[in-house]
Amino acid sequence: MALAETGRMGGMGWRVAPTQMALMAAVLALAASPVLAGMLPAALVDYPKQAVIGLAAFTGSWLTWLAREAAIGPLRIAEITRGLANVVEAPIALLNTLFAEGIQAGRGDQVRTVVPPLSWLAGIGLAALLAHMVGGRQAGPKLVALIVVGLLYIVLFGFWTDAMFTLTNVIISAVAAIALGIWIGTKAVTHPRIAAPVEGLMNVMQTVPVFSYLVPTLLFLGYGPSAALVATVIYALPPMVHATMLGLRGVPPEVVEFGRMAGASPRALFWKIRLPVALPQLAIGINQTIMACLNMVVIASMIGAGGLGFLVLTALRKLDIGGALQAGIAIVVLAVILDRLSLAAARLAASGTRIRSTGIPHGRLALGWFALASIAALLLPAFQSWPKELTLTTAPFWNGLVSWINIHWFEPLDAFRSFTLIHIMNPVKAYLLDLPWTLVIALVMLGGWMAGGARLGLTVGAMALFIAATGFWDPAVTSVYLVGLGTLLSLIIGLPFGYVVSRRQSWRDAASLVLDTLQTLPTLVYLLPAVMVFRNGDFSALVAIVSYAIAPAVRYSMHAFAGVPAERLELAAMVGASRWQTFKWVRLPAAFPTLLLGLNQTIMLAIAMLVITALVGTRDLGQQVFIALSRAKPGDGIIAGLCVAAIALIADMCLKAWARRAAARNGVEA
């Protein structure tokens, strides 16, 4: 076949023509696909139903067997995993007692709190002291102000106890994900052979929708905080691993060499040199991990974590959008506080400054404040928990605003929706759905081969075949159409915006806050008003995907361009480079590796959104996962979830290979 010949020619080093020919063939095939579909036998156009492998049913019954019957010796496997879950639950229970529940005695309706949990008055003071301690002289005051204002919001709006439940869950899962992520990332860098599998696994973990492993998690760990914890860590771990790998790889060998010459032990080399040098990348990993943990708050609340997530869900269920927004903002507040605190702590650790240098006895102050505030709370209960009568609310305002937009802006918005849907989205979808599956797989293989060679071509082809063979072809194509459009829009808007914003620190700070909000405000909170105006269906799904996936596009672009070394820019200015030349030859190359990670994360988050798109009535893989959940078919859920991951892997592998090649051609290190 022509393909094989051009392949051989490519091997001989004649590069341009075969790729061009392959591209032309692809374009021709895509253009002629309606004709092609008519000529091909039916089995090659629509995957025959009889040929679908019953993998889902098999996985389902195997899982049920594993959870209900399988045993090692006298112990059932589920008993072992549940035992482990209880161990994990101990620290959560301890923190819950301290922060949220206190100690109770009595029984029935005579239950009384004997020892109250940490009062909000004490809590705010302690958090402020902590902020001052890690923030140091420069960043300290700003951080303290942020924390006091944020926590006061939580108190005055009546969310303190729920926020504390959420906080304990998030802290434990974030610490677990960050520690585990740095460890795995480091191992993957020091043992290059496991690097590729680790990256693949992380992509799978990040993209298999949570709902697809929810039932298995519950089967093995039981309803409760530990199941929520595991589900959260699975989702939040990948950005930390990716960032660690990127950061450690970027440590200049000279620096390490210098340390070695200075006689540093391997341990010191790692902790005192590699890790601090890699800190900027680690910091963005920590940020993304914390954001991911908070992003899971709503889902975690469905399986027993409770807290703010449950408040959001209940409010939405009664369509109290303002109420849901308020609870959602409390989640954002926690996210921002945790993120800024951990960043300050990371900087402090890296700079090696001793905490004492501010000259303030934080420990003694904390003890004193705790004692004073606790006594005050015992005397006046309003200091323990804010009285319900004095709780603030802005919910009526938001509900009114949504109604106002709905009544006054509906027509132009609906016209826009109808136009996009009828003239762009539906035709694209219909075209993609009509493509013969054989042609798509051939094109995927071709794409893989062009990007990274024969081996990649075969790998991605096999993954596409997996989707067809397990019977999820149509939902998968619908997913590709939504995610593809969503990613494209996110990149078109996000990358340039990130570049512009990267110029000034103050712009970056403001943008970070907006992005943190976008990433941690429960999606449904803004999706539901969108549904009111845009109705259930694909358009609302697209809105959801873009609003979520645009965050990493902006963030990584901003971070990448802000991180361009100043010396290089000065050098460019000295040789009289034009703006465009500086951009092309200095900024872009320096930003390239981080931009690439941003591209990866944009696609990953767009795909991760498939779970949410199912909630506005699409017919994609997310919907399949959701249906499997509601019909208690864990096998279907997992296989549909793996199909989602397959799409993610295909996109990621091809893009990475392509970028590596493009970088090599331009002499940039990827």
Partner 1 sequence: MTGRPFWKTCMPKLLVSLAAATAISSAAQAFEPESNDPIIIGTFNWSSAMINSEIAGIILQKLGYTVEYLPMDDSARYPGFEAGDATFALETWATTQKINLETSVATGKVLDLGETGMQAKEEWWYPIYMKEACPGLPNWEALKDPKCGEAFAAPETAPKGRYLSGPVDWGGGDVERVAALGLPFEVVNAGTDAGMFAELQAAYERKAPIMMWVYAPHWAPAKFEGEWVDFPDYEDACYTDPAWGGNPDATHDCGKPEGWIKKMGWAEGEKKWPCAYEVVRNFKMDNATIQPLIGAVDLDGKTVTEVAQGWVDANEAVWKPWAACAGL
Q: Which is nearer to partner 1, 364 or 631 (CB)?
A: 631
What does each C-alpha distance from 603 to 282, 484, 546, 652 come to in angstroms? 21, 8, 11, 8
SS3 for 530?
helix
Q: How far is the CB of 239 from partner 1 (least distance, A)?
A: 26
Nearer to partner 1, 488 or 632 (CB): 632
Nearer to partner 1, 533 or 599 (CB): 533
Report, in Å, the least distance between residue 619 CB and partner 1. 8
Question: Least distance in Å: CB of 106 to partner 1?
Answer: 9
Strand partners, 639: none
For residue 333, give the nearest of 525, 172, 151 by alpha carbon: 151
Least distance (Å) between residue 89 CB and partner 1: 11
Residues 659, 670: contact at Cβ < 8 Å? yes
CB of 157 or CB of 449, closer to partner 1: 157
Minimum CB distance to partner 1, residue 429 (Å): 12
Say whether 116 sits in a helix, a strand or coil. Answer: coil
- Give me the least distance between CB of 414 and partner 1, in Å please: 8
* Closer of 42 and 407 to partner 1 (Cβ): 407
- Quote the Cα angle for 457-460-461, to 5°: 80
CA-CA distance, 289 to 282, in Å (whole number)?
10
Q: Residue 50 has what DSSP assignment?
A: G
Taking the complex as a whole, how short is the minimal distance between the CB of residue 130 and partner 1, in angstroms? 30
Binding site for partner 1 (CB under 8 A): 67-68, 78, 82, 107-111, 214-215, 218-219, 222-224, 301-306, 310, 313-314, 316-319, 387-391, 403, 406-407, 410, 414, 418, 421-422, 426, 524, 528-529, 531-533, 535-537, 613-619, 623, 626-627, 629-632
CB of 379 to partner 1, least distance (A): 14
CB of 200 to partner 1, least distance (A): 28
Q: How far is CA 543 from the centre of its chain?
A: 17
Strand partners, 113: 104
Query: Any idea which residue has 């449904």 for tokens?
Result: 524
Q: What is the 3-state secondary structure (H, E, C) of 244-282?
A: HHHHHHCCCHHHHHHHHHCCCCHHHHHHHHHHHHCHHHH
Q: How far is the CB of 551 from partner 1 (least distance, A)?
A: 22
Q: How far is the CB of 314 from partner 1 (least distance, A)?
A: 5
CA distance 626 to 92: 29
Phi then psi dihedrals of residue 105, to 5 deg: -140, 165
Minimum CB distance to partner 1 smaller for 289 or for 613: 613
Contacts of residue 27, Cβ cutoff 8 Å, sequence gap at least 6 = none
Contact 586, 560 (CB under 8 A): no
For partner 1, the closer of residues 340 and 633 by Cβ is 633
Side chain identity at residue 631, one-letter code: R
Q: Which are the contacts of 560, defined by CB distance < 8 A and separation ≥ 6?
A: 498, 502, 590, 591, 592, 593, 594, 595, 598
Buried b (16+ CB within 10 A) or exposed e, 402-423: beeeeeeeeeeeeeebeebbee
- Measure the CA–CA gap between 123 and 206, rounded to whole angstroms: 34
Residue closer to partner 1 by CB (options 582, 624) is 624
Spatial distance between the Cα atoms of 509 and 532, rounded to a whole number of angstroms: 32
Q: Closest CB to partner 1 among 306 and 447?
A: 306
State how far the Cα of 501 lies from the Cα of 18, in Å rounded to an integer: 41
Closer Cβ to partner 1, 193 or 318, answer by number = 318
CA distance between the termini of the chain: 34
Shorter beta-carbon distance to partner 1: residue 214 or 277? 214
User: Within 10 A of 334 (CB to CB), how many other CB atoms are there?
Assistant: 27
For the bound state, the minimum distance from the C-beta of residue 222 to partner 1, rounded and expressed in Å, comes to 5
| Contact of 484 with 549, CB cutoff 8 Å | no
Q: Is 274 or 619 the residue whose CB approaches partner 1 more closely? A: 619
